[in-house]
Amino acid sequence: MTGVLSRAVGAAAAGALLAASFPPVGLWWSAILALALLVVVLSPLRGVAPRPRTGALLGLIAGLVFFLLLVPWVGLYVGAYAAWALALVEALYLAAFGAGAVVILREGLAAGRRHGLRVVGAALGVAGWWSVWEWIRSSWPWGGFPWGRLAFGQADGPLLPLASLGGTPLLGFAVAATGTALGLVVLLLIRRHRPPRVPLRSAGGLLMVPLVTAGLAAAAALDTTSRETGETADIAVIQGNVPRLGLDFNAQRRAVLENHLRVTAELADDVEAGTAVRPDVVLWPENASDISPLADRQAGAQISALSRRLDAPILVGTVLRVGDGPEATNSYLVWDDRSPEPAADPVVDRHDKKYIQPFGEWLPLRAPLEAMFPIARTAGHFVPGDGDGVVTAAGIDFGVAICFEIAFDAAAREPVARGAQILTVPTNNATFGRSPMSYQQLAMSRVRAVEHHVPVLVAATSGVSAVIGPDGQVLQETGIFEPATLSAQVESDSAGTMATRLGGIPQMVSCLIGLVSLGWALIRTRQRPATEYEET
């Protein structure tokens, strides 16, 4: 019992270390230590190997601590139970990881007594098994929840350039493999004087894992820095702010629109006075005009007037009703009304959010949940769009990933693969207050910039808005809950990397490594006499 308790404490510590790799702490290396510690508690120690059910319990504990520390903002205005429920559901995926990882690690260490390189295979297998469950929880159910993937904690880490080779799947796999290798090296050193022991030469093989990943990251970094600068465009990002914090800011739709009109008008004043550069395109955030400018003549006329003053299209985040029912789309409109006479239809392009979030933008099992939880009635009735994620404004192709869409690989990759030159992230974080959510989303946007070598422009209603270079560096950034304008000259024709071209292949390969490793370990475990370790 004491052994299980000490393992449980170690698992909880691993979850806390993993959370520390993300904002607000942002220590990229703590993710590697987290995986190393998790591997140690899931491995045979002092001749005692945990059973798969014990591994599941340890994974569950690590997952609960991780997600409770990562996403407490989910329950900021709806109640702490929302964060607890989400953390519990997400922790179940780590429980499944733990159950399989103990099998891979036990077999790898046992086989390593005779074949040292089997331990290296176990390290890669555990990393692949981690990738399997990251992919599953990012996809299922109801579209999944990719928040907290290992890659998103590496915006300031030296392995970040790997994202340009194989996307976030490769980056996450590399972090998991490095941490697993480190944990196994620690185990080898602990067990060097105890039978059954693995040859110490295996430690040298394990140390090749971080060396290889570091070498690949360095090569990827050199490849991106050698690119020539392409054409540029002048872009203005508007952060109009909201009248108050909390879920009820939407009741102030007119005030939110007026805020964005006012800040944009101030930019127009500066342009006309010669103190600001005239932008080629103006970006507004998600929900900047939840009063539909297509249905409300006043809103449409006000936006058109600013488009003419600036002689630039304005990309407007709005909500558009679908038919006569409650359904709506979360939309981003290219509003271009630069002609002297008002256009009959100033909307020249449009993106409807494709990856809508369950329990926020739509509600699975709506009837029973509304009956049990009155707060569930505040969930939206949004329906997903089916576009390609690319809109064209002033001759520039923009990729659009609205708010949580930036967490989904395809939402960032597909627009760039289809010709987008700049990636935009219009977002509304007012419902999450001053929590770390905005900074976690900013870190994701930085990873996406490197993944596809594309400038990323984050336009937020209340912050954080930012201009991010193709190298992932934040060039400009606003504060939270303050009106602001960011004016930037950004590259507009050099987007795309190997990761863009490979698409989902790195994800499939990393998952295949994990599944094959688990399958092999299960077969070998059945064939091996059960005399090497006690089980607990």
Q: Which residues are catalytically annotated?
A: 286, 353, 403
* DSSP H helical ranges for 27-79: 29-42, 52-70
Residue located via tokens 């691993």:
14
Distance in angstroms (rounded) separating the CA atoms of residues 479 and 482: 6
Phi, psi of 359 (to 5 degrees): 75, -5
Beta bridge partners of 399: 390, 423
Dig out the tokens for 240 from the structure.
Answer: 């109009």
Distance in angstroms (rounded) separating the CA atoms of residues 196 and 532: 7
The dihedral built from the CA positions of residue 106, 109, 114 and 115, taken in this order, carries a sign that is: positive
CA dihedral 260, 261, 266, 271 (to 10 degrees): 110
Residue located via tokens 């599941």:
56
Distance in angstroms (rounded) separating the CA atoms of residues 261 and 428: 16
Question: Which stretches of 240-322 are assigned E, i.e. beta strand?
Answer: 281-283, 314-321
User: What totals of helices (H) and strands (E) does the chain contain, helices first?
Assistant: 14, 14
Of 364, 357, 429, 376, the closest CA to residue 82 belongs to: 376
